Amino acid sequence: MRIGRYAHARQFKRMRKALKKLKGYTGRVLRDIRRQLEEIPGGSFRERVLDTLSLVGRLLHQDPRSRGKIYALHEPEVDCISKGKARKRYDFGTKVSLATTIDQGFVVGMRALPGNPYDGHTLLEALEQVAILTGQTPELAVVDRGYRGHGVAGTKVLISGTRRGLTPKLKSLLRRRSAIEPEIGHMKTDGRLSRCPLKGTFGDAIFAVLCGCGHNIRKILAHLRALMAFILAAIYAAIMPGITTPTDNLADRHRCSA
């Protein structure tokens, strides 16, 4: 807590002093456990202790320029992802690739990408997943500027910001690319995509697919609620014509949102 406060106040000398003290405490505990390893009986518990000691040793000897740094002992596979935003420069987690339809925004492909790969190198894998799940290869993929240098040949890729050689139809499709941002926001808030409770890279992959399935189910339920509102409004209009009911206002609201 002190390290975070000193760093926020830009008091880096105090921050380094508090960090050095914390490393000293950790090193003492680490060396004390190593001296008593012979007293720990063999089995799965001993293996867990040895794995933890290995992770702590890597944590103590890493520096800001080290590769494969550890950011969390309970989840060593966590990556540091550069966001490029002033309010939040970095994010810690696993990168996720998301593919949705252009018209309705249904998720047709979603997978976790451990190791923080370049976005352009993940497009081919994302299109392969879409082809496996839907049974057909996408003819057009609309992506943002982070996918430049993708190297995909079988599908026409339209990158955001393109100005030359676009027909009016392609321009309208290019404007629809920004519709994926609110879908991601809904998945982070409603679908709990922002925090994965499952452990390891395998848990991240399973959780990403489950979040995509849950997002599609919520969209289907929303359409069914709108359809039910229209049906109830038609029934009330047939039984009691000329009387305004709360269901009519609900149907009008769903019609405006659609």
Paired tokens of 87:
């309010």
**Taking a C-beta distance cutoff of 8 angstroms, is the pair 235, 111 a contact?**
no
Q: What is the pLDDT of residues 93-111, one digit of tens each?
A: 899 999 999 888 899 999 9
Predicted confidence (pLDDT) per residue in 151-184, tens digit? 888 888 888 888 887 888 888 888 888 888 889 9
Domain boundaries, the chain: 2-70, 95-215, 220-257
User: Model's pTM, two decimal places?
Assistant: 0.77
Buried b (16+ CB within 10 A) or exposed e, 16-41: eebeeeeeeeeeeebeeeeeeeeeee
| CA pair distance 138, 124, nearest whole angstrom | 11
Highest mean pLDDT: which range of 14-18, 84-88, 200-204, 247-251: 14-18
- Work out the number of other CB atoms within 10 angstroms of the CB of residue 150: 21
Closest Cα to residue 75, out of 187, 197, 193, 194?
197
Q: What is the DSSP letter of 70?
A: -
Residue type for position 104:
Q
Q: Given phi > 0 = left and psi -120 to 50 = alpha, else beta, which region is 176? A: alpha
8 A C-beta contact, residue 249 and residue 233: no
Q: Does residue 209 register a pLDDT over 90?
A: yes
Angle at 189 between CA 188 and CA 191, to 5 degrees: 70
User: Is residue 242 very low, low, confident or very high in pLDDT (cuts 50, 70, 90)?
Assistant: low
SS3 for 38-58, per residue? HHCCCCHHHHHHHHHHHHHHH
Tokens of 124: 């081919």
Crossing angle between the packed helical segments 200-239 and 246-257, to the nearest 10 degrees: 130
